[in-house]
Amino acid sequence: MQVPLFPLNTVLFPGGPLPLRIFEPRYLTMVSDCVQQDSPFGVLLIRNGNETGLATTHEVGTLARITDWYQGSDGLLGVTAVGLQRFRVISSLREANGLNIGNIEVLPDEPATPLPQEYQSMPDILGGVLDDLGRLYESLERHMDDASWVTSRFVEILPIDLEQKQQCLESGDPAERLRIVQELLDDARLPAWYS
């Protein structure tokens, strides 16, 4: 499978939202093509470099599908996408316009995993946080009984180092993410109204 690749300083998880502001010609063309063909693009965390220049990336990322777009008052194109499936880059090439195209293999979906009893407070905490985050998360279909979905949303929004987020994406292990998220929540000492 071939997809355009979008190196970013973010880690997208399956089921998660991705707001973007597009101004580079290579990505404006990519967005136009993806909308017209209803096709995904690949999001990869930048390892070295930056979003507007040359960058090397991690090999595992997440396919994204555009769900909404609008022209901002500043003239930039606003795009909202949602994460689909994890993938691994097998090879890539850079087109003349600077857009990277990847040959990828789609990785297996994580199975839905019931939340173990000791983590039953997590959905309530997450629900309150997502409600506070507003529009970006309000249209997402919620799966509060699925450890994979719950922990993916927590890893997205908690202030975790990007490399640690990437490790969580690559591992595909909800049990490991449960442990990490619980430690972070314990450390955060959330306000009483979230508990």
How many of the other CB atoms lie within 10 Å of CB of 68?
12
CA distance 4 to 116: 38
Token pair, residue 172, equals 């595909």
The predicted pLDDT at position 193 comes to 44
Q: What is the pLDDT of residues 83-127, one digit of tens each?
A: 999 999 999 999 998 899 999 999 999 888 899 999 988 999 999
In contact, 80 and 134? CB cutoff 8 Å: no
In contact, 148 and 111? CB cutoff 8 Å: yes
What's the pTM?
A: 0.88
In contact, 45 and 168? CB cutoff 8 Å: no
CA distance 151 to 144: 10
Tell me what percent of the chain is helix, strand and coil, each rounded to the nearest 5.
35, 35, 30
**Cα 192 to the center of its chain, rounded Å:** 29
Q: What is the pLDDT of residues 11-68, one digit of tens each?
A: 999 999 999 999 998 999 999 999 999 999 999 999 988 777 778 899 999 999 999 9
Q: Which residue ranges form the domains of the chain, and what is each CATH number?
A: 2-106 (2.30.130.40), 117-194 (1.20.58)
Q: Which residue has the tokens 């970006």?
A: 136
Residue that wins the pLDDT comparison between 16 and 159:
16
The predicted pLDDT at position 123 comes to 93
Segment 68-92 shows an average pLDDT of 91
Closest CA to 60 of 104, 119, 4, 116: 104
The predicted pLDDT at position 55 comes to 82
The predicted pLDDT at position 155 comes to 93
Give the CA dihedral 47, 48, 50, 51, nearest 10 degrees.
-30
State the DSSP string of 34-76: HHHHT--EEEEEEEEE-TTS-EEE-SEEEEEEEEEEEE-TTSP
The predicted pLDDT at position 188 comes to 67
| Residue 195 confidence class, pLDDT cut points 50, 70, 90 | very low
CA distance 60 to 51: 17
The predicted pLDDT at position 58 comes to 95
CA distance 16 to 43: 12
| Residue 136 pLDDT > 90 | no
